[in-house]
Amino acid sequence: MKRIIVAFIIILLLPSMKAQEKKEIAIVTGFEPFANYDINPSEMVAMQLNGSYIGNVFVVGVVLPVDYEKAEEILQNLIKKYEPSIILCTGLEYNARKINVERIAINLKSIYVDEKWNGIEIINGSAPFILFSNLPVGKIVNEIKSNDIKARQSFFAGTYLCNYVFFIMLNYALHRNEDVKVGFIHFPPLKQQAEYGMDIEEMMKAVEIAIECSSV
């Protein structure tokens, strides 16, 4: 009789045990150094947060190459492997004085030939021209500021790789998995790079806050 009762209890607990096994995952990406910037703080943030937990969310930190096709391929493979609930891409905006939490991605990308600008192309001819982040951008900015870190909402992520990965991930969420939350954060340079720069710890804290505000 005792064995029957124990077996019955185990059967009842199985659904909750399985639910606990499936952890929430956030992919946090940064970029390699580019152009004249030999240090990219977004790379440092992604690597330092890789393998950590933010609340109940496990972070997979990845550094993307400064290449449209390679960056997209890596992101697609990460999605297949981890099935994340949050995708937070980050990058360097050298002229930024604050953490810029991006709200909009546009369907345009700059083309460079031999490191020289050679015009603009549409990213995806069948996609909308503008896509909006489905992260709680306003809440994230307010929480970052409440931690004495300078932050603002931004409505233009540029037309290079930062905007590109932001757009293709939002387009993925729109058409293939609406439950995935996608956002982008631009960092200012480090203090060692510019007098108006920011500490790496503040950047990491901003990402942690963004994930906390966006997790289920």
CATH of the domain at 107: 3.40.630.20
Q: Judge whether 186 counts as a catalytic residue.
A: yes
Catalytic one among 72, 89, 162, 208?
162
Instruction: Answer yes or no: is 7 within a domain.
Output: no
Catalytic one among 43, 72, 143, 186?
186
Q: Torsion angle of alpha carbons 88, 93, 96, 100, nearest 10°?
A: -20
Q: What local confidence, expressed as pLDDT, does residue 2 receive?
A: 54
Q: Which two three-digit tokens encode residue 61?
A: 């930190």
What confidence tier does 118 reach under pLDDT thresholds 50, 70, 90?
Answer: confident
Instruction: Answer yes or no: is 207 within a domain.
Output: yes
Write out the residue range of the structural domain in which residue 127 sits: 24-214
On the question of pLDDT at 44 being above 90, the answer is yes
Instruction: Answer yes or no: is 95 within a domain.
Output: yes
Instruction: Answer yes or no: is 16 within a domain.
Output: no
Q: Judge whether 162 counts as a catalytic residue.
A: yes
Instruction: Answer yes or no: is 194 within a domain.
Output: yes
Catalytic one among 93, 102, 143, 208?
102
d(CA 100, CA 102): 6
Q: Judge whether 102 counts as a catalytic residue.
A: yes
Instruction: Answer yes or no: is 6 within a domain.
Output: no
Residue 90: strand pairing partners = 185
* Percent with pLDDT over 90 in the chain: 80
- Residues 6+ positions from 60 with CB-CB distance below 8 Å: 25, 26, 27, 28, 50, 51, 78, 82, 84
Q: Which two three-digit tokens encode residue 107?
A: 């369907």
Total domains in the fold of the chain? 1
Instruction: Answer yes or no: is 13 within a domain.
Output: no
Instruction: Identify the weakest region by mean pLDDT among 148-157, 173-182, 192-201.
Output: 173-182
